[in-house]
A and B are shown apart, each in its own frame.
Chain A
Amino acid sequence: MGTKIVAINTYLPEKIITNQQLENDFKRWDSEKIEAKLGIRNRHVVKDDETALDLAYNASLKTIKEYDKNKIDFVILCTQSPDYFLPSGACILQNKLGLRTNIGAFDFNLGCSGYIYGLAIAKGLINNNLANSILLIMSETYSKHIHKKDLANLTIFGDGAASTIIEKSENEHILEFVFGTDGSGFENLIVKNGAFRKKYDPNAPQISDNSGNIWTDNNLFMNGPEIFNFTIEKVPKLVDEILNKNEMTLNDIDFIIFHQANKYIIEYLRRKINIPKEKFYSNMLDTGNTVSVTIPLALEYSINNKIIKRGDKVLLCGFGVGYSWGATIIKF
């Protein structure tokens, strides 16, 4: 027995911010240069009254239109922009989606590595006979964390949600995993204020860097250079480790999807690891970096456009905030 991904659906909020709008608003950005270097032209962002739970609900609605919702016996939501401290968003979704009540539901908090960990949890639950059909949802609205004058982060991040169904199957399609964690880098990608270590501070002083980006400790802070260093160091090793763990080489892999951090970073990693271009997914043009949603977005696109075909082995790699990283190989 094993586990299998049987459905992936994504939902992006309607509101779009274009590079041109950012160029007009900030007067210090060349929209063409941004697109060329970061590979981003548009990003979807939520309206003030729209939340991660709304996006999660809309992505899940698409799924239960094509999948018998009474089969679902576990709901797992991954988000770092929850509607409430408590309860878990997954509990609210159970009711909103009209799912059975004799099922499990919980949230977990991870960023760019979230999808890998979600698949691992789902595989573990199913293979231990704790569930048969899992609704795994990634939903993120980093735009709510970002200061309105923080052009760097406004440029990179977009909002979105993805729902995946993982089912019990005859053969194992979700192969071995590798995980990694290094909390020593926690302050390099963080929202400091707002929980209980440091409360939200309406008078938090503004901080700026020499590029003119402005934020406060209430907002998302990203130390770009350190995050880039972390990925350069960890991701090549991660790819080696996941191939070794599955007793494969790059030649055995049909397609590779990294977390879509930005085009420059993942293209650099691709060259460093010697991954052929035709095997490598690189597309965040109209979404930006949607955190834990980038990998299922890429999977949905690649399956719909027949880039991933039945029987293909696809290597997935997530890395970021925490620091947290993980990888697995999926047989489609």
Chain B
Amino acid sequence: MVLVLAIHGELQLLSFKIYKMKKDIFYKELAEYLEFENIELKEDTNLNSISEYDSLAQMSIIAFIDEKFNIKLSAEQLRKITTIKSLMKLIGINNFE
């Protein structure tokens, strides 16, 4: 049973944590997660200027950051997000390449 649990734990780690992410992939995958139609995300895109950026979108951001970086964003941090770059700073610039 211990072995099974260990394998289970490992799989979880593999699928839910990567260490460095290419910026282009980050923009692309975040946009897919957010399901914004016809909006391309770039470093200087201001999320607050996108009408679809609502509490549902914030939920997606929390899930995305947890899944890809294993980082929890507090409500306070979420409120302060403006551009995609500000989100990347919260995640930690060294998580990107």
- A interface residues with partner B (beta carbon < 8 Å): 33-34, 37-38, 152, 209-211, 213, 223-226, 228-229, 232-233, 240, 247, 249-251, 264-265, 268, 272-274
Contacts and interface: CB of A to CB of B under 8 A. Distances in A.
A232 B72 contact: yes
Given A225-B75, A226-B74, A264 B59 contact: yes
A228 B62 contact: yes
Interface of B: 1, 4-5, 8, 11-12, 15-16, 35, 48, 54-56, 58-60, 62-63, 66-67, 72-75, 78
Contacts of B55: 152, 209, 211, 213, 224
Contacts of B56: 33-34, 37-38, 264
A224 B59 contact: yes
A225 B63 contact: no
Contact of A274 (B8, B66, B75): B8
Contact of A225 (B8, B48, B74): B74
B8 A232 contact: no
Contacts of B1: 247, 249
Nearest to A267: B63
Contacts of A272: 12, 16, 66-67
Nearest to A212: B54
B73 A225 contact: yes
Given A223-B75, A224-B58, 20 more contacts: A33-B56, A37-B35, A38-B56, A152-B55, A209-B55, A213-B55, A224-B59, A225-B59, A225-B75, A225-B78, A228-B62, A229-B72, A229-B73, A232-B63, A240-B5, A247-B1, A249-B1, A272-B67, A274-B11, A274-B15
A231 B59 CA distance: 12
A227 to B, nearest CB: 9
Given A249-B1, A272-B16, A226 B75 contact: yes
Nearest to A36: B35
Contact of B4 (A37, A226, A240, A249): A249
Nearest to B11: A274
A249 B5 contact: yes
Contacts of B54: 211
A210 B35 CA distance: 20
Contacts of A268: 63, 67
A43 B32 CA distance: 29
A189 to B, nearest CB: 12
Contacts of A33: 56
Contacts of B73: 225, 229
- Return the 8 tightest CB-CB contacts between A and B, nearest first: A225-B75, A211-B54, A226-B75, A268-B63, A229-B72, A211-B55, A225-B78, A228-B62
B58 A225 contact: yes
A233 B67 contact: no
A250 B12 CA distance: 14
24 contacts: A37-B56, A38-B56, A224-B58, A224-B59, A225-B75, A226-B74, A228-B62, A229-B62, A229-B74, A232-B63, A232-B66, A232-B72, A233-B72, A240-B5, A249-B1, A249-B5, A249-B8, A264-B56, A264-B59, A268-B67, A272-B12, A272-B66, A274-B12, A274-B15
